[in-house]
Copies of this chain bind each other. A is one copy, B any other.
């Protein structure tokens, strides 16, 4: 088994590399949302009653979506996905062991905070808040492809939001004295204030809006491409970042810091 390259692990403890990765992850998130928007809502995929099937097989005790995400995670666990400190499962209970020995490296994160996982919240937010805003009504029957697209969106959002752990670790290492008092006082508000830079957040919101315009336009060979039609509404992406992605990333940072002295 190849060891995870030290370059890769070092990059998780360097603020400039983390920043670059977060910017790059915006592209992945937007690509994944654009791809999900190829399919209509396909509600039957998410139903956990028997609307799809009067006599469901035992594997479908919950929704087809639930089955698909859980089984995909089990498969990816076998392939070693969750040995990476960047990855957090949506259904982390009873995941199978990796088929290969896990990479042999010193933990990057402080162990008490490493296991923070707010995917339940992310899943709920994705299904209830984001998805209805970016897809059309209707049902085209392409449930498997739709669920696979959902998984891509969820994993991209989860990776981005849990990246807060690395950001918090690096910020703490760079200036422990800035955070120690607030951590000892369990002062979430003070920590949140230390982690908030409004001008940076505004810039991120503008940049993801611009990216959604660029990546979601219909490109043809004429000079001026955009007809103002985007595959996912750029203002929704920007709003979702401002109201959810950024606050949740900061909340992961706060929770991580609160455990940093344990």
**Interface on A for B, CB 8 Å cutoff?**
1-5, 7-8, 24, 27-28, 31, 34-35, 38, 44, 52-53, 56-57, 59-60, 64, 67-68, 71-72, 75-81, 84, 87, 99-101, 103, 138-145, 147-148, 152, 203, 206-207, 210-211, 214-215, 217, 219-221, 225
B81 touches A144 (CB 8 A): yes
The closest CB in chain B to the CB of A83 belongs to B141
9 chain-A/chain-B pairs, Cβ below 8 angstroms = A2-B52, A31-B215, A53-B99, A67-B79, A67-B99, A68-B75, A72-B75, A84-B145, A207-B219
Q: A59-B78, A81-B145, A100-B52 are in contact. Are A5 and B139 (CB under 8 A)?
A: yes
Residue of B with least CB distance to A216: B27
User: A138: which B residues are within 8 A, CB to CB?
Assistant: 5
Which residues from B are CB-within-8-Å of A80? 141, 143-144
Please determine whether B99 and A60 come into contact, CB atoms closer than 8 angstroms.
yes
Q: Which residues of B contact A35 (CB under 8 A)?
A: 28, 31
- Please name all residues of chain B whose beta carbon is closer than 8 Å to the beta carbon of A210 when the two chains form the complex: 219, 221
Closest Cβ of chain B: how far from A76's Cβ, in Å? Answer: 5
Query: In the complex, what residues of B have CB within 8 A of residue A225's CB?
Result: 214
A187→B123 CA distance, assembly (Å): 54
Return A37 CB to nearest CB of chain B, in Å: 11
Question: A99, B207: Cβ atoms under 8 Å?
Answer: no
Contact between chains at B101 and A53 (CB < 8 Å): yes
Closest 10 CB pairs of A and B: A4-B141, A81-B144, A79-B144, A31-B31, A8-B140, A2-B139, A76-B144, A103-B141, A211-B219, A2-B44
In the assembled complex, the Cα of A2 lies from the Cα of B7 at a distance in Å of: 49
